[in-house]
Each structure stands twice: as C-alpha cells, then as structure tokens.
Structure 1
Amino acid sequence: MFQSVLDYFESIDPILAALYATLFTWFLTAFGASFVFFFKNMNRVVLDGMLGFTGGVMVAASFWSLLAPAIEMSEGEGFIKVIPAAVGFALGALFIFGLDKVLPHLHINFKETEGVKSPWQRTTLLVLAITLHNIPEGLAVGVLFGGVAAGIPEASIAGAVTLAIGIGIQNFPEGIAVSMPLRRMGMSRWKSFMYGQSSALVEPIAGVLGAVAVTFFTPLLPYALAFAAGAMIFVVVEEVIPETQQDKNTDIATLGFIGGFIVMMTLDVALG
C-alpha cells in the first residue's frame, strides 16, 4: 500500500503533492477533533501521554527528516558543512519565538496567556496557540516536496511522504487537545469541532509556500529544512513539554515522548 502511495505522489507535480500531503495532516487533526462528538471529557493522563507522544514525533522528525538531510546536502567539510543547518535552525527557532511574543494566544491549561494583550475570546486564543504549532509542521513537509521538485538527490518522495505520515499521526492528539477543552467550557460539539480542526488549516498553506519557495530558490533547501526543524524544536521545548508537566503525569508524558520518538524514527528509517 505504501508503495502505491509513493507511485501516486511520484506521478503528480511535487507542489500539488505537498498540498495533498498537508491536507492529509489537516484531516488527522480534524479526525482527532471529531472525538468531541463522542466524549465530553478526555482523561488528563491520556491527554498528557498523547501530548508527550506528539513531542517525541516532532523531535525525531526534526533530526531524521530535516536536520540530517540538511547537513548531508550542504557543501564543504567540517564547520563549513554544518553552517547552513546551524543558521537555518537558529532562524526557525527565532521565527517562532517572535510569533510567540507578538501573536496573542492561550495555552491549553487556560492559565497562561502570551503575546500582546488582546480582547479576543479565550477560544480564539487557544486555536491560535495550536496554529503556532502547525506552521513549522506544514512548512517541513512542503520544503521536502520542494526539494524533490528541484531535483535534489537527498530529498525523496518517500522521505516527504513519511514525514507527512508522522506529522499526521501527532496531529491527531492535537485535534483532541483543542476541541475537548472547548467542550468542557460549554461550547457546542459542532463549534468545538470546527475550532479544533481549523487550527491545522495553516498546514496546507505553509506546505505549499515552502514547496514553492524551495523550487524557485534551490540553494535555500538546507536552510529551509533546518528552519523547519528549529521551529519545531522550539514549539516542543516551549509549549508541548511544559504542558505535559502541569499535572502529576510526568512519567506517562515521558513514556509517551519516548514512544513518539521511536515511532517517527522507525517510520523514517524504514520507509524514508
């Protein structure tokens, strides 16, 4: 089945493939959000474990799918070879850091508000928080497909599809993490679902933009891959991991992280 998927993606334009792949990641977010139609509450232990899993997938994807290829395709030796990855990684982290300070958003625990002060409702602020998470994820998938379009040997359809599968898997609990708190606040099931799935609509946009940018500016690819990695790592360290430490489920969250890392590493090595 995986080979059939690869054959299909190889037969279409890579930018269109980036759109389809990121629509898949959005769909899994929507699937997670749809659980609000069946449950009003999600056990906090389960949620922390799933968020830990999300962090593990993102960290593994950052190295195996983004940083390692970025270093491999860079020219030169020694310190020269790692400069594009180092610069891109730093810029990606600083990009999300800047957005984090400017864009008003609310953490999942509904206690910490960040960014400039805003009269927006808490529901909007929560969706914006998860949207911040999804920008680097869509970008990561897009730049890999852009590398394929540019003919970079280190960028493969298999690697791009594998990354999309991994990102999609970890998007599932993110959909739950948005919709369930909104339902507990008294919002209707339908509105909770709509807010939950809308947080990932930025992924297809970021994916296509990333693919187009790399296609037209091929030398950017190592920087772009590392940029997406830096952005993802910043999100994990600043948002995802601290969120799992709010209650007394740190062991569950840590095991979830390890499990997510293993799953993504296995997918990337076995399929990518």
Structure 2
Amino acid sequence: MSEYMLQFNPVVQALLATLFTWGVTAAGAALVFLTRTVNAKLMDSMLGFAAGVMIAASFWSLLAPGIEMAEELGHTPWLTATIGFMGGGIFMRLTDKFLPHLHPGLSTDKTEGIKTSWQRSTLLVLAITLHNIPEGLAVGVAFGAVAAGLPSATLGGAIALAIGIGIQNFPEGTAVALPLRREGMSKTKSFMLGQASGIVEPVAGVIGALFVMKMQNILPYALCFAAGAMIFVVVEELIPESQRNYANIDIVTMATMTGFATMMILDVALG
C-alpha cells in the first residue's frame, strides 16, 4: 500500500485515505439494509473499541510524533505539545457548545448546542459529524507531515492512522443509521443520513494536509491539536455512550483495550 500511495502528492494521499474512512462509515450505515437493530452489548462494545482506537491513535500517531517534531524544529517540546493538545480540546468544546446536535439513544430534549427546530435526524447526523472533523483533520495532518521530510513523520504511520480511523468509523455509521430506521425512516434514507456523517472527513483531511504543507513550522502544534480534539471526543462522547448500560461495563472496557491494542499494533508495525 505504501508503494501505491507514494505515486501521489500528500494532498491526494490525504484525500484517498479519508475517502476510505468515509467509505467505512458508509459500510456501517449499510447495516440498515440487513436489520433494524444491533444487540446492545455488541453496539456498546463496538463504540468501546472505537474509543480505544482513538486513544491509541491520539498518542502513537499524533502526540508522540508531534513532540519529536517539536524537538527536531527547535521548539520547547512540552510547551508545544500542551498548547496544541489543549487547543484541540478547547476547539471541540466550543464546537460542542454552539453546534446543535443530539447523541444517539437520547431524546430530543437532550439536544446540545444552540436551541433549534431542526429535525431529530439532522441532529443525530451532526453529532457524529462533530467528531469526524478531528478524525479527518488528523489523517490530513499526518499525510501533510510526511511531506516535511522529518524523521518522525512516516508514510506507514499515516496509513496506519487512516486504517485505524476507518475501523472505528464502522460503528459510527451504524449508530446514526439504525436509530433512524427504528423510528420508521426508510432503509435508503437511513443509510444516506448515516453515511453523510462521514462526508466531512475528506474535506477536513484535505484542509489539514494543505495547511501543514504551507506552514510546516506549525506541524507539531497541528498534530497535538488533532490529538487533543480526538481525546475530547473520546471522553465526552464515546466512553459515556459505550458504558451507559452498567451490565456491559466489563466487556466494553475489554473492547476498549482491544481497540487500543489494535491501533498500537498498526502504528508500531506500519510506522
């Protein structure tokens, strides 16, 4: 795969990688053509697995390389990492505060963000779209970083990140599409709305790659920013959603650890 990706410039690489992650979101949404429901324990475990993947990706693929790059560029590593990481979290907090959205499984009176009359389906899609932004950005920044030629940025590592993000996107597409199907929406419309939550990833990926290629000195900040944004999503959304049912906590926790281990293996093996 690395040899295939080498023939493209980093922006095209980022686009191809995020089209893949969007495609996996669509695959998850496509479950509506087969069933109206997924076993609650399985769904919680998939969300827990996704959380583990994102935690591992935040460190192995983003934060650690960002710290190494900061050293290579003569920055103060701990300060660069802290500014970037906290900046990503603050950005997501502000987005979460103002963008209307509704997390799957909740009633419309639990809508977050600015009050609106938007339909429940739109609010559900926006909830997943909200945390697909940092995922697409992370992949784009990773491929853009490779163009800088710094030892800490490798094509294999960027590909590993894209694969990991893609894997954890599957339950996200399912988490939007199936609730809509259960509420009586047609299979096709449920699928279309489910996969629509991933459209933002190619956009964010291309923007991220272009941004860091034009301003290479901010690369360490950008990588740590993406890590902070992803950790915010994990702690604020994925872990609470996966552990709503107390009876499933142990198996969900193991699924989270399995997701972490899977992403760690991908990154260490390919990066």
Alignment TM class, shorter chain as reference: over 0.9
Q: Using a 3 Å threshold, how does the CA distance of structure 1 residues 9 and 117 change in structure 2: closer, same or farther?
A: same
Structure 1 segment 120-199 matched on structure 2, within 5 A: 120-199=118-197
Partner of 2:105: 109
Partner of 1:257: 256
Structure 1 segment 1-272 matched on structure 2, within 5 A: 5-75=1-71, 80-111=76-107, 112-248=110-246, 249-272=248-271
Identical residues among aligned pairs (%):
61
Aligned equivalents of 1:148, 1:257: Cα separation in 2: 29
Shift of 1:10: 1.1
Shift of 1:151: 2.2
Aligned equivalents of 1:36, 1:9: Cα separation in 2: 33
Shift of 1:245: 2.1
Q: Secondary structure at the match of 1:177?
A: helix
Aligned equivalents of 2:148, 2:72: Cα separation in 1: 20
Aligned equivalents of 1:215, 1:268: Cα separation in 2: 22
Q: Secondary structure at the match of 1:119?
A: coil
| Most deviating of 111-120 and 52-61 | 111-120
Aligned equivalents of 2:170, 2:159: Cα separation in 1: 17
Q: Provide, for residues 155-208 of structure 1, a one-character-per-residue CA deviation record: whole Å limited to 9, x for no partner.
A: 111111110000000001111111111111111000010011000100000000
Aligned equivalents of 2:111, 2:103: Cα separation in 1: 6
Aligned equivalents of 1:49, 1:190: Cα separation in 2: 26
| Most deviating of 18-27 and 244-253 | 244-253
Shift of 1:152: 2.4
Shift of 1:80: 2.4
Q: Provide, for residues 54-102 of structure 1, a one-character-per-residue CA deviation record: whole Å limited to 9, x for no partner.
A: 000000000000000001111389x922111110000000000000000
Mark the runs of 5 or more structure 2 residues left unpaired by the alignment.
none
Q: Provide, for residues 35-71 of structure 1, a one-character-per-residue CA deviation record: whole Å limited to 9, x for no partner.
A: 1100111111110000000000000000000000001
Q: Using a 3 Å threshold, how does the CA distance of structure 1 residues 196 and 264 change in structure 2: closer, same or farther?
A: same
TM-score (norm 1): 0.96
Contact persistence 1:15–1:149 (CA under 8 A): no
Aligned equivalents of 2:176, 2:265: Cα separation in 1: 28
**One-letter identity of the residue aligned with 1:269:** V
Aligned equivalents of 1:245, 1:145: Cα separation in 2: 33
Runs ≥4 residues deviating over 4 A: none
- Please report the RMSD computed on the Cα atoms of aligned residues, expressed in angstroms: 1.5
Shift of 1:153: 2.4
Aligned equivalents of 1:185, 1:255: Cα separation in 2: 31
Shift of 1:113: 1.3
What is the count of residue pairs matched by the alignment?
Answer: 268
Aligned equivalents of 2:144, 2:163: Cα separation in 1: 17
